[in-house]
Amino acid sequence: MAESIINDKVKSYLVACLVTGIDVEHKPDAFMAELVDYMNSTERHFWTEGDEEGVIVHNKHDVPVMYVRYNGKRMTFRAFEEDDYAGMMTEPDMGYALLNIIGYLQDKGLDFRPSIMGSESHVVEHLVTDTTDPNSEDWAL
């Protein structure tokens, strides 16, 4: 049986990105416009629209999945509620959309990480008892 590439470490990384955002620095206007183009050209089709103020990602059924905002230092994500009428689950689409966004960041060669490990690390500092640096392999994709 083949091991899934989406293991617990990858799931933890994706959840950290979705909940706290991603720290990455770039010019917002070009950055978000290029993200729209990138998302609209991905293998797993997403329909994406927006500008430097924010981007809405839709799934292949034209259901809005998430709203992406960027302030020049941090990218944040907001989920749209599940469509009860159509009974469609959007969680897998959010995960795949986030993987595509991470792919975009990697293609641009940008340094990025979940905000919980950067700008938002103060939120969990009082919970950390081990003072050693986390193993970077635990957060590498």
pLDDT in tens, the chain (141 residues): 456 666 778 888 888 899 899 999 988 778 999 999 999 998 877 789 998 889 999 988 888 889 999 998 999 999 887 656 555 566 778 888 999 999 999 999 999 989 877 666 666 565 655 555 556 566 555
- Position 13 scores a pLDDT of 86
- Given a contact cutoff of 8 angstroms between Cβ atoms, the answer to whether 57 and 68 are in contact is yes
The pLDDT, as a whole number, for residue 69 is 94
The residues near 89 (Cβ < 8 Å, ≥ 6 apart) are: 82
* Residue 109, CB-side half-sphere exposure with 13 Å CA sphere: 0
pLDDT, residue 132, reads 58
Cβ-defined contacts of 29-36 (< 8 Å, 24+): 31/70, 32/68, 32/70, 34/104, 34/108, 35/68, 35/101, 35/104
pTM for the predicted model, two decimal places:
0.77
Residue 84: CB atoms within 10 A of its CB come to 7
pLDDT at position 119: 66
